A and B are shown apart, each in its own frame.
Chain A
Amino acid sequence: MLSFLDTLTTFPLAELEVGNHFYWQLGGLRLHGQVLSQAGLWIGLLLTASVLGTRNIQRVPQGMQNFMEYALEFVRDIARNQLGEKEYRPWLPFIGTLFLFIFVSNWSGALLPWRLIKLPVGELAAPTSDINTTVALALLTSLAYFYAGFRKRGLGYFAKYVEPTPILLPIAILEDFTKPLSLSFRLFGNILADELVVAVLVLLVPLIVPIPVMLLGLFTSAIQALVFATLAGAYIHEALEGHGDEAHEEH
């Protein structure tokens, strides 16, 4: 068994590299080069697609504009379903960008054979399979819903913590920590696990067998992007509504 594992590690086509990073030094800071370069690439792609789509806006959409409008309507529906018709407009850029960025990142990792590009250390993969990315996005979501709550209700936002009863205060506070934690780890775990499963299967059987798992990976990638964006919308909506407002609406 051990000798089998040894032969695996010397297998030339596929290898597992988890936790190895291609480091960039910037001043005194250490950066994950492969993550940032990938993220930059997909940001560039998104911006290029947007500019192509909106360069020549017509009443009857054609080609790229049509496609980008489809994408916009998709993310608009996510935001609108969570925040409601009245509130969703200012939050559309945040939720929509969350979805688009995570979706493009996930699919880039699932679709493209990044292993063909050799890095000195580590490997190119979806930016969302790095914990830094997902935690950054999750913390931004936390900031967003705090900002939403404070902007809508000022310091009255804190009333949310003691409503309907102060007994739940510890749980309410705990929620503010579990929300970003669950958001980031859900995304990170799903994407990394998917890539690992595919990598392991490719290691064992390089042909055909990994394809269903890869398809499943595409599916989970899309679902995870949707889940992240939807949950971000739900958290922001919760902060906007609060318990007090709901009570007022009932009376």
Chain B
Amino acid sequence: MFDFDATLPLMAVQFLLLMVALNAVFYKPLMKSLDDRDSYIRSNQTGAQERLANAENLAKQYEQELADTRRQSQLVITNAQAEAQKIAATHIAEAQQEAQAQREQAQQELDQQKAAAMQSLEQQVEGLSRQILEKLLGSQVFS
């Protein structure tokens, strides 16, 4: 069981040769491949992170712009509403004024006509009263 002979050094040499050969065909190329993949993944990841950050910035910017625009539109709407209100108010006021004026004019005309009618009535009263007098007293009055 324990007989040492030339197998020992030969085995050592064999092992060393295996080590050198494996270093050439196994460890070096595959470690290089692993390292390459690592760096590839790392660079891709940083690139992706940058892109993600960019996209997030853009999204934030757009959102801000959207909010601004919305606020502006709101402002425009309120402005327009206020203006419309004002215009409506002025229009109403004008119309009321006009109506007032027309009413006053009509009142005036009515008053004038009433006065004229009263005047003509008074004249007619005089004529009528004369006629009544004439009828009652006859021609004595004029004689």
Chain A residues near B (Cβ < 8 Å): 18-19, 21, 26, 29-32, 35-36, 39-40, 43, 46-47, 50-51, 53-54, 57, 59, 61, 65, 68-69, 72-73, 76, 89, 92-94, 96-97, 100-101, 127, 130-133, 135-137, 139-140, 192
Contact = CB atoms under 8 A, between A and B. Distances in A.
A208 B40 CA distance: 52
A132 B7 contact: yes
B7 A130 contact: yes
Given A32-B7, A131-B3, 10 more contacts: A29-B5, A29-B6, A30-B5, A31-B5, A32-B5, A36-B11, A39-B11, A50-B26, A93-B23, A97-B19
Contacts of B20: 93
B130 to A, nearest CB: 134
Contact of A92 (B5, B6, B14, B27): B27
Majority secondary structure, A binding face: helix
A20 B29 CA distance: 42
Contacts of B8: 132, 135-136, 139
Given A39-B14, A136-B15, A139-B12, A131 B27 contact: no
Contact of B22 (A57, A100, A192): A100
B142 interface: no
Interface centre among B3, B11, B18, B25 (most CB of A within 10 A): B11
B30 A97 contact: no
Given A94-B19, A135-B8, A53 B14 contact: no
Interface stretch (B31-39, B81-89, B111-119, B121-129): B31-39
B15 A93 contact: no
Given A57-B30, A69-B33, A131-B1, A136 B12 contact: yes
Contact of B12 (A43, A46, A96, A140): A140
B16 A43 contact: no
Contact size range, B: 20 to 34
Nearest to B12: A136
A133 B29 CA distance: 28
Nearest to A40: B14
A19 B3 CA distance: 8
Contacts of A135: 4, 8
Given A47-B25, A92-B31, A59 B40 contact: yes
Contact of A57 (B14, B16, B19, B29): B29
B26 A31 contact: no
A59 B36 contact: yes
A140 B7 CA distance: 14
A54 B29 contact: yes
A54 B30 contact: yes
A43 B36 CA distance: 28
Contacts of A59: 33, 36-37, 40
B21 interface: yes
